[in-house]
Structure 1
């Protein structure tokens, strides 16, 4: 049976709080907290301690995590080393990768390879016994920063942060036409397109609230470069919203009726912000904006 040892040295500014309170700050699920306590798999300074133990700066907290603690303890992506990955940031729990446009984020079947998660699995397999765990995704045609967990505990925490909207994702896009304002917010519910299973549409079937904030960066003769922040994370949200206000993304084969096949989708995940697991440290990792997004004239 696989097990994972997680060791955390508490920082100098650590307040004097109980081990239970520290578990809550780290947002460990109650079920895992209970199993660590009942099976005496949590230690302070190398000795088992109960949840009422007071922690101080410099204390070393160690957790012995087992497969039974997780719904998906081992990810099953096929390892693929045919394409190197562009690692923007990495620590013991996660890495941020700059995804190329034109590759899928994840496979749709167990034996499929050639996706970003396969390449990350190949990268990790060459360096350690860690596995890749998906946290969020980008469309195949979109490039940019993607956050990937390296162990099941980090995956649990990062997915909780995603649900709580503490993971922030920023984008840049080149859209058709000239926007009339310097910034704005698009508030249009997005649901399923009843006629095309792949597509989404404003006020579609089972529509959910969707909010997109944008800011103009520059314009050229027939398009605008915008910075985008998502308040919600609906499928194809940016693409649907800008098409709905009459400024579809350049190169969008799904939502731009003027698409002629000449350009890639001009949408790029420029930054991802998150709290590092087992820490209150906030991180923001940027993915360089491809040169073709900028006005050459």
Structure 2
């Protein structure tokens, strides 16, 4: 028999969700059978699959030892720990991700990526140790493309991750980007609503009307500066689908400078999209674990692509 004490990063999870993370090699069918047969208990009592765990609960597991032999993941120690930190407190880390850096680990263990850098940084500063956690790993709260520079929010603990994800879902976290787009815009500013579907070849397809499999996506854009062939554009992201800004502006016949994947000119000197997530506003009003972030604005001091824009003719 093994006993697990539920910590602060484990609580408020369903029993089955917790077990899926804590014992990843335990088949779900066997997990459900063990719960039914009282081979898995909470506080030495029969539990239900949907029961919510509380901090300080104890879980008794009468299972084969093989399911407890999961190797602790320390691959994050193979990547650098250097980060461009824009904001940090006990709950959150907001960093400026460099263009070209993966957000998450790819298939190749040891390949440099932002999330492993964050784990390494937190490990060095004694804010994360995988040996002390049952089910939680610090995580990014939203996506960002490999070749997009800019602000990324990471949560250090489970309560902050849940709270930030809820605020993002409720559109209480406003993200603004700046980009270089090709062509001359007819309108100085516009609200755009289109429909998005991502295909197996990792390309976003856009339609102007609803269709099965397509999700609504929205942006507000404003032209900050217009040249003969290029525009410096501020974009407010109102939804969060893959490649959304890139695909939407390409659909409007204004692909991002350097973004060959979505129709940019092959003559562009850069072969990645000129896009930067430069500003985040936190606009919720309710009290929660992230109450100190209410009304805050986090913004980059320097945006590299602006220099690129001014160098264009």
CA distance in 1, matches of 2:121, 2:160: 18
Partner of 2:116: 118
1:289 and 2:303 correspond? yes
Report if the CA contact (8 A) 1:77-1:110 is conserved.
no
1:157 and 2:172 correspond? no
Unaligned runs of 5+ in 1: 6-27, 33-37, 40-63
RMSD: 3.2
Report if the CA contact (8 A) 2:150-2:276 is conserved.
yes
Pick from 189, 213, 224: which aligns with 2:220? 213
1:234 and 2:251 correspond? no
Higher strand share: 1
Report if the CA contact (8 A) 1:192-1:206 is conserved.
no
- Judging changes above 3 Å, is the alpha-carbon distance between structure 1 residues 111 and 98 closer, same or farther for their aligned structure 2 residues? same
Counterparts of 1:44-83 in structure 2, within 5 Å, are: 65=55, 78-82=76-80
CA distance in 1, matches of 2:84, 2:104: 16
1:277 and 2:289 correspond? yes
1:215-270 Cα shifts (integer Å, max 9, x gaps): 01002231000100011111111011100011000011310242346213100001
Pick from 170, 178, 202: which aligns with 1:172? 178
Displacement of 1:208 in angstroms is 0.7
Counterparts of 1:99-114 in structure 2, within 5 Å, are: 99-109=97-107, 111-114=109-112
Count of aligned pairs: 240
TM-score (norm 2): 0.67
CA distance in 1, matches of 2:56, 2:178: 41
Counterparts of 1:128-277 in structure 2, within 5 Å, are: 128-130=126-128, 132-193=138-199, 197-203=201-207, 206-260=213-267, 262-263=269-270, 264-274=272-282, 277=289
CA distance in 2, matches of 1:233, 1:65: 33
CA distance in 2, matches of 1:160, 1:76: 29
- Judging changes above 3 Å, is the alpha-carbon distance between structure 1 residues 173 and 125 closer, same or farther for their aligned structure 2 residues? same
Report if the CA contact (8 A) 2:217-2:238 is conserved.
yes
Unaligned runs of 5+ in 2: 16-41, 44-53, 60-71, 129-136
CA distance in 1, matches of 2:91, 2:251: 39
Secondary structure of residue in 1 paired with 2:257: coil
Partner of 1:94: 92
Report if the CA contact (8 A) 1:225-1:293 is conserved.
no
Partner of 1:21: none
- Judging changes above 3 Å, is the alpha-carbon distance between structure 1 residues 278 and 245 closer, same or farther for their aligned structure 2 residues? closer
Report if the CA contact (8 A) 2:79-2:110 is conserved.
no
- Judging changes above 3 Å, is the alpha-carbon distance between structure 1 residues 68 and 265 closer, same or farther for their aligned structure 2 residues? farther
Partner of 2:51: none
CA distance in 1, matches of 2:81, 2:279: 22
